Amino acid sequence: MNMDKNFDIIYLSLFRWNGPYSSISEAMSKELSLNNRVFYINHPYSYKDYFSELKRPEDQGKKSGLQSGKVQMTEVYPNVISITTPLTYPINFISPGKIYDYLYQRNQKIVLDAIREIIKKYDVKRFVYLNCFDPFYVPVLPKEFGAKMSIYQCVDDMAVSEYTIRHGVRLETEAIKQADATTCTSRELHRLKSPHSKNCHIVHNAAETSIFEKAMHQDLARPKELLEVKGKIIGFIGNMDALRVDYPLIKTIAERNPEKTLVLVGPVNNTEIDSLGIRNMPNVIMPGPKNITELAPYLKCFDCAIIPFICNTLTRSIYPLKINEYLASGRPVISSKFSEDIESFGEHIYLSADHEEFLNNINLAIAENTPEKMQERLEVAQSNDWHSRINQVWSIVNDHLNEKKKEFKKVV
């Protein structure tokens, strides 16, 4: 179902455009932009971010823009305008109370003023407001802005992160209560958030299959980091954070497969990689973070792809973006049994209850791989592309607008 092309989308996201790893909001914006204008508001930089994060030479242009104190608007994709607001105040460290509430309102005003400027400059009249997992800034748009609907997207469990649990859980609960609808990326999140929402839906993550199926159908140049690799390759692509990934398992995989190479592609946001000595292991290669458009050549070199997640409260609520990306590339996938949603792929991937089964499944997956199985995996991913997810969102919008019409007719 496609929405009226006269609708615009104002989309505030915790995930900044062109970040170090795939994000639901960037992928959905690209799909939405096929029919609608999208105004993508990046998670604002605070004064603390300005001095602590933006240190690389390539960040100097960004710092110069932030220094101006003006809203920055740049077309980053056909029909997608990326918005960077002026600097905000860092307030997460402040305890709940009057001081926090005052500065929270100041930050809201900075973002709301940016939205007003967008609406005026681009003559935005009929629009839907989306907030992707960022209750810290304008979780729901005030009614006077005229949005036809406000949707809050829940993509993770705020309660398990030391940073977000301080204010995020409370702010997200209020956002869900106030939003016209809430979408959740997993069954577990839907169970957790439904009690607070009057209109809660599951909208799973998906894949930009056209990017990843290149690993199946195109001749791609081998990445420079892998030019000298001769044997089989076990691959991982994603954010190596401190809460999801089972690093002892990763080390064991490398140790027990000395004849294979373990390639870990993505940003490193943990200390275990170094404390366990993984980075320095002779059969481990870590190319660093790559843009989503650079991933297919790595996947083409992988003989299998892994999702070595810990089984904990956080991962129980995860439907990982990478599952459909891996499947779209045709690679056999080995995963731990960390969530109900990953187990729903049981017919198409190798699920592992413990480390030993994970290790055995690596060799089994490589041995059993065939062109027919690769095609089956691609077809599974294609059924979980962003086009189908956007249709789900438009159905939610249409249902809401139809309900509003019925209520209006009753009043009249």
Render pLDDT for 310-364 as a digit per residue (tens, 0 to 9).
Answer: 999 999 999 999 999 999 999 999 999 999 999 999 999 999 999 999 999 999 9
Question: Is the model's pLDDT at 1 over the cut of 70?
Answer: no
Torsion of CA 97, 103, 108, 110, to 10 degrees: 180
DSSP string over 10-59: EEEESSPTT-SS--HHHHHHHHHTTTS-EEEEEPPPBHHHHHHT--SGGG
Helix (H) or strand (E) holding 296: helix 296-301
Tokens 């089964």 -> residue: 357
**Mean pLDDT for the chain?**
95
Q: Output the pLDDT for position 366.
A: 98
SS3 173: helix
pLDDT class for 20, splitting at 50, 70, 90?
confident
- The whole-angstrom distance between residue 137's C-alpha and the CA centroid of its chain comes to 18
pLDDT class for 255, splitting at 50, 70, 90?
very high
CATH class given for the domain over 209-382? alpha beta
pLDDT class for 412, splitting at 50, 70, 90?
low
Give dist(CA 219, CA 83) in Å, integer: 36
Q: Output the pLDDT for position 199.
A: 97
Q: The whole model's pTM is what?
A: 0.92
50 Cβ partners below 8 Å, 6+ apart? 63, 66, 87
Delimit the domains of the chain by residue range. Answer: 8-206+385-411, 209-382
Give dist(CA 146, CA 333) in Å, integer: 45
Render pLDDT for 178-200 as a digit per residue (tens, 0 to 9).
Answer: 999 999 999 999 999 999 999 99
Question: Is the model's pLDDT at 109 over the cut of 80?
Answer: yes
8-206+385-411 and 209-382 in the same fold: yes
Name 263's bridge partners.
235, 285
Q: What are the structure tokens assigned to 227, written together?
A: 């030019």
Alpha helices in 344-385 (DSSP H): 355-368, 371-382
Q: How many other CB atoms are found less than 10 A from the CB of residue 382?
A: 18
Question: Which class for 242: exposed (0-12), middle (13-18), buried (19 or more C-beta within 10 A)?
Answer: middle
Q: What is the CATH number of domain 8-206+385-411?
A: 3.40.50.2000
Q: Output the pLDDT for position 404.
A: 87
Render pLDDT for 29-87 as a digit per residue (tens, 0 to 9).
Answer: 999 999 999 999 999 999 999 999 898 887 888 898 999 999 999 999 999 999 999 99
